[in-house]
Structure 1
């Protein structure tokens, strides 16, 4: 069989680990693997490269995706999809593996509905895909954020300063929630939970009243503007407050051991599904078991938000 692989949407640490696993396991089992450069845009343009064992050597520890990724608005129109299908057929690609977030899943589903055998892996740092406890890159991104918050805390303590730290997550507060708990934040502001500035200020004041020499507020980008929140906190509390937007540094760096192993396990599952004739599926991890659901099923369900974990975060910040 000829198996194509592409990475789409925002990059995440561990995508290379998944590409490596899929490629090596497929080749060992006698299949051919074709890498598709620059996501669905590259698929429409026929940017195909055959992958051998040596081509995926020395990429396990590298962040990003060596196949590169590119967002493509053209692909979501029927004309773009037909161009992509024509290139797949010309290259005799029997199965297409798509690594990315929900937008990538929608692209894979569109191809599946037009007769292409597609398979999805959850590659996004936001951890916002249904039916998987984790997505590739999430663990690494959280660890990066925690490391950076630790550094910000050092300088904040030196100046008795409050820091508002803005992290990625337009529609998902998972990075903010997990990194906030791991960093001992005084407040965590998320798009999933209503919040008000007065409660945030009260949390900061309680910390200073207990003798703390700094305040840490973690904000998901979909919940508010860090610089505006910082100005309002300083105005209301009269405490020096600075904002820091961590930006795309959260996407970079070497993937954690968890992400490397997790991505490798899912890559193995993809090949298993291909060999067993089970297309149109998305692989995930549920209760530490690698599972799969139909792509349609995954897209039809809103990802669960862990309100219990948010409650724990609030209790710990008191």
Structure 2
């Protein structure tokens, strides 16, 4: 193998740049030519492919977002779209591809691998919802962004003796809400993996008031309901005047933490090694603090498991 490509796809995640840097420099270290594909699979279809040198990925390890940009590409789901991408890979002499993104990005990579173009997936998503790996690139940074917001909002909640609802990302996975809620000392956490009981939540609020507590923080993952909807439910049941903060896309941006930079560097470097070994249809992950590679179909045929022991612990500690 003499030339490989790298692209970022789907939602951006802090640390993607560190992964791109690792792919490029590890590849060059091993004598490979590395090309960057801009704007994800859409860029692959359009032929937005440029060779990258050492200096092209300098000064990006500390930057959020992705130098290669990202875009969703429904066309690549179709056989016609995939064929266009294959033609561009042939045209530019690409013999392998590193895809940094989530499960949707992996599906595109798997399709290319089946067509004879080895692809390796690197998990980049703040939701931490890729099966086969304990952690994904971007999760730790997004988590710390949320914790910082919780700490600041708690100052105001304390000053005004109010109940605040903080809505965080997590359509199908509650890892961000769960970890941030536990780390931020939230009184209540609502995640998609656990059925919520509005009466239980209200009982917890009442217990807090009974012991003199003047404020509360409730964390809700967007996959459960919106913060506004939850505020209406609480208001209708209790008359409590809550305040809602929707963190939105602020969770995606920012300087990646040291952990995400190291994770991205390890994953990107291992992806190049896997391609050099001639393997395709593989995904990189972290298991028991060890970098592993595994069959990419595992990401489709199994589901992400949230550590619900943390949910139990959060309830025990927020009495």
- Offset of residue 220 of structure 1: 0.4
- Offset of residue 298 of structure 1: 2.2
Q: For 1:151-170, what aligned pairs fall within 5 Å after superposition?
A: 151-170=152-171
- Offset of residue 239 of structure 1: 2.7
Q: Which residue of 1 aligns with 2:98?
A: 97
Q: Which residue of 2 aligns with 1:135?
A: 136
Give 3-state SS (helix, strand or coil) of 1:11's partner: coil
- Offset of residue 316 of structure 1: 1.2
Q: Which residue of 2 aligns with 1:186?
A: 187
Point out 4+ residue stretches in structure 1 off by more than 3 angstroms.
none
Q: Which residue of 2 aligns with 1:73?
A: 74
For residues 182-223 of structure 1, give each alpha carbon's deviation from its aligned partner in whole angstroms, at most 9, with x where no partner exists.
011111001110012111111122222222221100000000
Give 3-state SS (helix, strand or coil) of 1:92's partner: coil
Matched, 1:125 2:119: no
Give 3-state SS (helix, strand or coil) of 2:142's partner: helix
Mapped contact 1:95–1:116 kept (Cα < 8 A): yes
For residues 62-90 of structure 1, give each alpha carbon's deviation from its aligned partner in whole angstroms, at most 9, with x where no partner exists.
00001000001111011100000000000
How many angstroms apart in 2 are the aligned matches of 1:127 and 1:307? 14
How many angstroms apart in 2 are the aligned matches of 1:177 and 1:264? 26
For residues 260-293 of structure 1, give each alpha carbon's deviation from its aligned partner in whole angstroms, at most 9, with x where no partner exists.
0011011111121122222210000000000011
Matched, 1:203 2:189: no
Q: Which residue of 2 aligns with 1:12?
A: 13
Question: Please, what is the CA RMSD of the aligned residues?
Answer: 0.9
- Offset of residue 49 of structure 1: 1.2
Mapped contact 2:165–2:231 kept (Cα < 8 A): yes
Q: Which runs of 5+ in 1 are unaligned?
A: none
Q: 1:235 to 1:158 in 2, by over 3 A?
A: farther
Q: Which residue of 1 aligns with 2:147?
A: 146
Q: For 1:253-264, what aligned pairs fall within 5 Å after superposition?
A: 253-264=254-265
- Offset of residue 160 of structure 1: 0.7
Query: How many positions carry a matched residue from both structures?
Result: 318
- Offset of residue 232 of structure 1: 2.0
Mapped contact 1:160–1:240 kept (Cα < 8 A): no
Q: Which residue of 2 aligns with 1:292?
A: 293
How many angstroms apart in 2 are the aligned matches of 1:280 and 1:5? 15
Matched, 1:214 2:201: no
Give the TM-score normalised by structure 2: 0.98
Q: Which residue of 1 aligns with 2:116?
A: 115
Mapped contact 1:205–1:237 kept (Cα < 8 A): no
Mapped contact 1:44–1:87 kept (Cα < 8 A): yes
Q: Which runs of 5+ in 2 are unaligned?
A: none
Q: Which residue of 1 aligns with 2:23?
A: 22
